[in-house]
Amino acid sequence: MSKASEKAYREIREQLLRGTFKPGERLIEDDLASLCGVSRTPIREALRRLASDMFVRQIPNHGTFVIETSEHDVEDLFELRAMLEGYAAARAAHRVTADALARLNEEIARIDRALSMQGAYYLDTFLDANRSIHAIIIGLAGSERLRLMLHSLTEQSVVLGTLHRYSMEDLKRSNEHHKEIMAALRAGDAIWAQAIMTAHIHAAFRSFSRGEDDAVQDKERKD
């Protein structure tokens, strides 16, 4: 945690996201240790964290392997996220505060500005503000367990490469959803909030799924 363990976690995670370690590949603790410049002890801690994040899979006495992901997995992931975030939004509608609404409004405006200015880093701004928006809503739900579960799911969607696949149209619609979610929260309408949030996640999945079509066909042709 304090230094070596955290460093190892970040480094291995980075390599996994970069694709240096391929799905199914076995990760040797000694190799990772020399790669990260630390001993095996913090490496083992890092691998355990990555396993609980479902980035890798550990088999006792056999080693740890990079997770192999399927199309079915992606759909599963989004469905769970849609359900849990919908639930979070419903709870948030009952517990929303003026301060939270103000913060949501600021983030939503930030996305609007970034998208209209068409600057170089509009996507980074979107991703950052989007993360904040969802964090605020999940925070309003007031369940640490729920927060952890959703954190795990969003982490997993990162490793599946579901980001950077959205068109400008997708991003604009996404932010319109944000505005509607905020309206539902302000109205204290839990069912509305839940429904629009569920739609929001499903729409994101379809955007991703559309962009992925070629790769899917390639994969399936091999079988």
Residues forming contacts to DNA in the complex (CB under 7 A) are: 1-6, 26-30, 38-42, 44-45, 60-64
> Is the CB of 2 or the CB of 217 nearer to a second copy?
2
> Is the CB of 29 or the CB of 155 nearer to DNA?
29
Find the shortest distance in angstroms from Cβ 48 to a second copy: 5
Residue 149 contacts which entry, a second copy, DNA, none (Cβ below 5-8 A, type-dependent): a second copy
Find the shortest distance in angstroms from Cβ 93 to a second copy: 15
> Is the CB of 72 or the CB of 221 nearer to a second copy?
72
Residue 145 contacts which entry, DNA, a second copy, none (Cβ below 5-8 A, type-dependent): a second copy
CA 128/CA 189 separation, integer angstroms:
26
> Is the CB of 41 or the CB of 97 nearer to DNA?
41
Find the shortest distance in angstroms from Cβ 46 to DNA: 9
Find the shortest distance in angstroms from Cβ 145 to DNA: 23
Do you know the residue count of the chain? 223
At 4, list the tokens: 């070596």
Find the shortest distance in angstroms from Cβ 19 to DNA: 20
Residue 199 contacts which entry, DNA, a second copy, none (Cβ below 5-8 A, type-dependent): none
Note the residues at the interface with a second copy (CB under 8 A): 1-2, 41, 44-45, 48-49, 52, 54, 58, 60-61, 76-77, 80, 83, 87, 143, 145-146, 148-149, 153, 156
> Is 57:64 a contact under the CB 8 Å cutoff?
yes
> Is the CB of 38 or the CB of 197 nearer to DNA?
38
Q: What is the DSSP string of the chain?
A: --SHHHHHHHHHHHHHHHTSSPTTPEEPHHHHHHHHTS-HHHHHHHHHHHHHTTSEEEETTTEEEEPP--HHHHHHHHHHHHHHHHHHHHHHHHH--HHHHHHHHHHHHHHHHHHHHT-TTHHHHHHHHHHHHHHHHHHHHT-HHHHHHHHHHHHHHHHTT-SS---HHHHHHHHHHHHHHHHHHHHT-HHHHHHHHHHHHHHHHHHHHHHHHHHHHHHHHH-
Q: Collect all residues with Cβ–Cβ distance below 8 Å to 132 and sequence separation of at least 6.
A: 103, 107
Find the shortest distance in angstroms from Cβ 29 to DNA: 4
